[in-house]
Structure 1
Amino acid sequence: MSSFRFIPLLALALALAGAVAAESAPPPLATAAAEYRVVAREFRLDGVVEALHRSTVSAQTQGQVEELHYDVDDYVEKGALLVRLRDTEHRARVSQATAEVRSATATLERVRDEHERIAGLFAKRSVSESAMDAATAELTAVEAALESATARLEQAEEQLAYTRIRAPYSGLVTHRHISRGEMASPGTPLMSGISLDALRVVVDVPQSLIPAVRAGGQARIQLPDGELIEATRITIFPFADMGSSTFQVRLMLPEGLPGLFPGMFVKTRFVVGERRELLVPQAALVQRSEVTGVYVVDEAGRPSLRQIRVGRQVGDQFVVLAGLDEGEQVAIDPIAASLARKALGDRP
């Protein structure tokens, strides 16, 4: 009787052990297959960031520098007053030209009234034709004198406006070429500046790649923080440099990119064709010191860490150069895969 009682107890113990083992077993791992895809073939080159708007503001009239409102590295809004020249002489010319215009206007009114009076008399045959011609000639001469005086006033006002030099666009001051108290003449450089609102990247591309670059029409720029952005416009110069046999290519950047300044070096990637690459998700990569690997999950669901060699990044995936075959399953959560190996008694 004791042996019969022992068998049910043994079966119950085995069932309980199986249940506990089932409860402690790790859940199935989420995986993704390494697969080949047709991706763009890229050629990488170094480029230099430059400002689209960079210029030197020069004096357009003569005068002594009285005020300098900005210096190097100052940010300037568009239309802000940069330099003010002494305008005493220019104001005097404006006043003189204004007086001449007033005098010519008064003379024109008087001559016009006289012309109308003589024209009325001429219609009644009370004055000779020569008197009428003389009145008309005088009216024409006075009208020309008024036009000349008005032109001198406009010129004087323009020269007065030139004593206030304003910023043509918003940006940073890079050089100050003059100091307070110096005499400025037409053409004298005053300040140089650049705009950070519109930037582009200049790249020297070998002539062997130009046909592929023209055909592809796509390029990306890698920012200092690693982000990749598409160039909004590609401009290829129609001639090559005689010394290096390279073509200059300009890549226009989107507006408002932080952390970029003229003169910085950046990486560029030009699309020059297509090819098949073996890809795995970026989330599946494991970095152990200088070794890159993935957890490969076999048919039984057991993960094992395998070292691989990766290439460039394509979106949220990486190109596998060695270490994996097409169709192999990799865990997309390396931490969960490491815990599963510990639960199974393996080293992580």
Structure 2
Amino acid sequence: MNIRLLSGTLLLTLAAAVRAAPALETAPAQVETVEREQVFDGTVEAVNQTTVSAQTTGRVLQVLYDVDDYVEKGAVIVRLRDTEQRAQVEKAQAALNEARARYQQTKAEFARVKELFDKHLVSKSRYDQAKAERDAALARLQAAEAALDAAREQLERTRIRAPYSGIVTQRHVEVGEVVQPGTPVMTGVSLEKLRVRVAVPQRLINAIRKLRRARVIVQDEDGRTRSIPAERLTFFPYAQGKTNTFDVRVELPENVKGLFPGMFVKVAFVTGQDKRLVIPARAVVYRSEVTGVYVVDDQGRIHFRAIRPGRTTPDGKIVVLAGLKPGERVALDPIKAGALFKARRALREENGHER
């Protein structure tokens, strides 16, 4: 008696849960025109990869960054001893002060002589002499200003700066070493702008060159894949001799997360178009070795159906190679559909036991 009562209560509970369940959102499997793609392996490269060199002579005073350090653009990475350069700046500054004073003197003298010349109180030769002295003093002032700028530039070059933000990959100098103009001090790469280099077979290069569309496929640490559209494709105008492949550079948007120089990725190039049966990717269920969907028929009944999936399209749909027909509707929330499917199955089993 108690068992029957408990069974009846469970049956009523299941029936109520099934009736109260909200309607499932579905979408039809439909044939669409999708881009045909060919996928190849590629290697991530840094667009900016530079070895920074010294531009003046000096002894290394400080090395402020090391390998694997992140450096902001404009940050000082190496300092050279600047005693000589500072002395040259002071000397140039003194020369400039002297030239400026001399110019002011000759300028005032020329103004005085000109006023007398206009009144016919001095000769033309005296006027010309005063004007020449003023012009010569101005030229010396301008030369002194240029010399000070050059000396300051040499002083600034004792502070070697990063040309862009990035990661230090090599360190070439130590404290105490003497460097000359052209001596390498550090090598670094920027992670802000990356590209992928791919070798494309000769038979496909014309189609890829014509359509010029590609995406980089990245697998994240959680196992999920994401697509990054290419900004631009650059084609090398010659084939590699041994492989008869053409190198293609795939330019990526700035500041892409999760990619680093040297990584291997997949690159999908568009080579044409095909008609394919597709469904929304969020409708697909992955159960260990089985991939499937929950199909909802015209009577609202739910069935689990195994499918053979193809590739994922850029707009978030999956190509279905087998297991579905056009027009069949799939549940867009597999978790909710699965729970409802189990509840209805349990209800049917309970009804069978009651009989």
Interval of TM-score (by shorter of Structure 1 and Structure 2) = 0.7 to 0.9
Alignment-mate amino acid for residue 195 of structure 2: R
TM-score (norm 1): 0.81
Give secondary structure in 2 for the equivalent of 1:263. Answer: coil
Comparing 123-132 with 62-71, which one deviates more in the overlay? Answer: 123-132
Counterpart in the other structure of 1:209: 204
**Could you tell me which of 171, 175, 185 is aligned with 1:190?**
185
Give secondary structure in 1 for the equivalent of 2:254. Answer: coil
Alignment-mate amino acid for residue 68 of structure 2: D
1:194: how far off? 1.6
Deviations 1:283-325 (A, max 9, x none): 5544444233445566776665554322112344422223343
Alignment-mate amino acid for residue 129 of structure 1: K
The question of 1:119 aligning with 2:114 is answered yes
Counterpart in the other structure of 2:340: 336
Give secondary structure in 2 for the equivalent of 1:204. Answer: strand
1:238: how far off? 5.4
Segments of structure 1 that go 5 or more residues without pairing to the other structure are 1-15
Give secondary structure in 2 for the equivalent of 1:103. Answer: helix
Counterpart in the other structure of 2:232: 234
Instruction: Work out the CA distance in 2 between the residues paired with 1:44 and 1:57.
Output: 37
1:138-287 to 2 correspondences below 5 Å: 138-225=133-220, 226-237=224-235, 239-243=237-241, 244-287=243-286
Q: Is the 8 A contact 2:62 2:78 kept in 1?
A: yes
Counterpart in the other structure of 2:91: 96
Identical amino acids, percent of aligned pairs:
48
1:91: how far off? 0.8
Counterpart in the other structure of 1:318: 318
Q: Is the 8 A contact 1:51 1:198 kept in 2?
A: yes
Deviations 1:68-97 (A, max 9, x none): 111111111222221111111111111111
For the pair shown, the structure with the greater C-alpha radius of gyration is: 1
Alignment-mate amino acid for residue 223 of structure 1: V
1:182: how far off? 0.4
Q: Is the 8 A contact 2:232 2:252 kept in 1?
A: no
Comparing 151-160 with 241-250, which one deviates more in the overlay? Answer: 241-250
Deviations 1:212-257 (A, max 9, x none): 3344333222122233334251122251234244333333323333
Aligned length: 328
Label 1:114 to 1:274 Cα distance change in 2 as closer, same or farther (>3 A).
same
1:280: how far off? 3.7
TM-score (norm 2): 0.80
Comparing 149-158 with 291-300, which one deviates more in the overlay? Answer: 291-300
Counterpart in the other structure of 1:50: 45
Alignment-mate amino acid for residue 326 of structure 2: E
Label 1:339 to 1:146 Cα distance change in 2 as closer, same or farther (>3 A).
same
Segments of structure 2 that go 5 or more residues without pairing to the other structure are 1-7, 351-355
Q: Is the 8 A contact 2:209 2:235 kept in 1?
A: no
Instruction: Work out the CA distance in 2 between the residues paired with 1:157 and 1:67.
Output: 20
Instruction: Work out the CA distance in 2 between the residues paired with 1:152 and 1:343.
Output: 94
1:55: how far off? 1.4
Instruction: Work out the CA distance in 1 between the residues paired with 2:237 and 2:204.
Output: 14
Comparing 94-103 with 212-221, which one deviates more in the overlay? Answer: 212-221
What is the root-mean-square deviation of aligned Cα atoms in Å?
3.2
Counterpart in the other structure of 1:11: none
Instruction: Work out the CA distance in 2 between the residues paired with 1:257 and 1:296.
Output: 37
Comparing 324-333 with 265-274, which one deviates more in the overlay? Answer: 324-333
Alignment-mate amino acid for residue 271 of structure 1: V
Instruction: Work out the CA distance in 2 between the residues paired with 1:328 and 1:177.
Output: 65
Instruction: Work out the CA distance in 1 between the residues paired with 2:117 and 2:329.
Output: 110
Counterpart in the other structure of 1:64: 59
